């Protein structure tokens, strides 16, 4: 099986890192920047080229990993190429299944929304496809994205909500962490120490939460009545953290819907 990438940027590299570490071979990459091709060839067992048509013709699975603004040029370039029976997986933000189907009319299409932690192989990737896509094709796509983290399959109408939670999420969690670091420094901690304390606490909390402990249980476990945590939690509640988070995510989902039009 040959897996071809159109675009060899950051996200493609994260996937290539995960795939090659998980025993995938026969990876082809089409990338216009020569120095980027040399870098990829130097670091991973892959073949690089600058020719998208060859990638399309010689791969069974094609992963589109370019920016949305480069899609019209790609569409023009590949017009008329027969992709019958091939699997086309797109990670291009905001480009819907219908648009992908019109670009690759006879291919099986899977749309994926990964997120930035893919760069450290801790991605949350959400897959969506048309009901006509056979189960084994979807399983193949799930296997590819499992190489860089967790995978969930949802219907396309969920993608705006997905964008708000896991797509934009890393920036939201990073913002909260930044606030904690700055607040720690304001309390007198050296900035680098505050940084270490906040990040390790976030990492440890994420591990606890992924070991099936519910957020509400963890809060109860840490906050004893009349204690320090409860004092802090009361301020979050009084100042409306829940409403702020809810409105921020609604705004992100709304923007995702606007951009998808």
Task: Name the one range near ligand NAP by CB under 6 A: 24-32, 182-190, 212-220, 252-260.
Answer: 24-32
Smallest distance, Å, CB 36 to ligand NAP?
Answer: 6
* Total of chain residues touching ligand NAP, rule CB under 6 A: 26
Residue nearest to ligand NAP (CB): 9
The conformation of residue 1, written as its DSSP 8-state character, comes to -
To ligand NAP, the closest distance from the beta carbon of 38 in angstroms equals 13
Burial category of 146 from C-beta neighbours within 10 Å (exposed 0-12, middle 13-18, buried 19 and up): middle
- Given the rule CB under 6 A, which of 9-17, 38-46, 152-160, 213-221 is the region that contacts ligand NAP? 9-17
Q: Using the rule CB under 6 A, is 12 a contact of ligand NAP? A: yes
The answer to whether residues 172 and 180 touch, using CB atoms and an 8 Å cutoff, is: no
- Write down the number of H helices and E strands in the chain: 12, 8
Least gap, CB of 229 to ligand NAP (angstroms): 33
Q: SS3 of 12, please?
A: helix
Among 70, 101, 150, 205, binds ligand NAP (CB under 6 A): 70
CA 96, 98, 104, 110 torsion-angle sign = positive
Does residue 11 touch ligand NAP according to CB under 6 A? yes
**CB-CB neighbours of 57 under 10 Å:** 14
32 or 190: CB nearest ligand NAP? 32
Q: Does 74 engage in binding with ligand NAP (CB under 6 A)?
A: yes
Pairing status of strand 3-6 against strand 87-90: unpaired
3-state helix, strand, coil in the chain (%, to 5): 60, 15, 30
State in angstroms the smallest separation of the CB of 86 from ligand NAP: 17
The sheet with strand 61-64 has its strands ordered as 47-49, 27-30, 3-6, 61-64, 87-90, 108-113, 123-129, 149-153
171 binds ligand NAP (CB under 6 A): no
Per rule CB under 6 A, is residue 9 in the interface with ligand NAP? yes
Give the residue with the Cβ less far from ligand NAP, 30 or 128: 30
Per CB under 6 A, the segment of 63-71, 153-161, 221-229, 241-249 that binds ligand NAP is: 63-71
Which residue lies nearer to ligand NAP by CB, 125 or 194? Answer: 125
Annotate each residue in 83-122 with x if it binds ligand NAP (CB under 6 A) or - if it does not, as one string.
--------xxx--------------------xxx------
Instruction: Give 186: exposed, middle or buried? Use CB within 10 Å, 0-12, 13-18, 19+.
Output: exposed
First to last CA, the chain: 35
Binding site for ligand NAP (CB under 6 A): 6-12, 30-33, 36, 52, 65-68, 70, 73-74, 91-93, 114-116
């Amino acid at each position: 099986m040959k897996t071809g990438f159109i675009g060899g940027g950051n996200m493609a590299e994260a996937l290539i890192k995960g795939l090659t570490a998980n025993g995938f071979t026969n990876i082809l990459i089409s990338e216009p920047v020569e120095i980027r091709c040399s870098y990829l060839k130097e670091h991973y067992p892959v073949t690089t080229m600058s020719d998208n048509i060859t990638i399309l013709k010689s791969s069974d699975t094609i992963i589109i990993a370019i920016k949305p603004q480069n899609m019209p040029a790609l569409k023009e370039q590949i017009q008329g190429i027969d992709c019958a029976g091939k699997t086309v997986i797109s990670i291009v933000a905001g480009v819907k299944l219908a648009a992908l189907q019109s670009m690759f009319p006879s291919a099986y299409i899977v749309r994926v929304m990964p997120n930035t932690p893919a760069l450290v192989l801790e991605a949350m990737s959400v897959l969506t496809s048309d009901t006509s896509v056979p189960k084994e094709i979807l399983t193949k796509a799930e296997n590819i994205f499992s190489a860089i983290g967790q995978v969930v399959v949802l219907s396309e109408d969920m993608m705006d909500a997905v964008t708000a939670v896991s797509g934009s999420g890393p920036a939201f969690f990073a913002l909260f962490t930044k606030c904690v670091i700055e607040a720690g420094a304001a309390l007198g901690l050296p900035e680098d120490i505050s940084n270490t304390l906040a990040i390790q606490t976030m990492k440890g909390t994420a591990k606890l939460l992924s070991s099936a402990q519910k957020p509400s249980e963890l809060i109860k476990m840490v906050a004893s009545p009349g204690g320090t945590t409860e004092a802090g939690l009361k301020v979050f509640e009084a100042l409306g953290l829940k409403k702020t988070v809810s409105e921020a995510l609604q705004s992100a989902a709304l923007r995702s819907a606007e951009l998808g039009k």
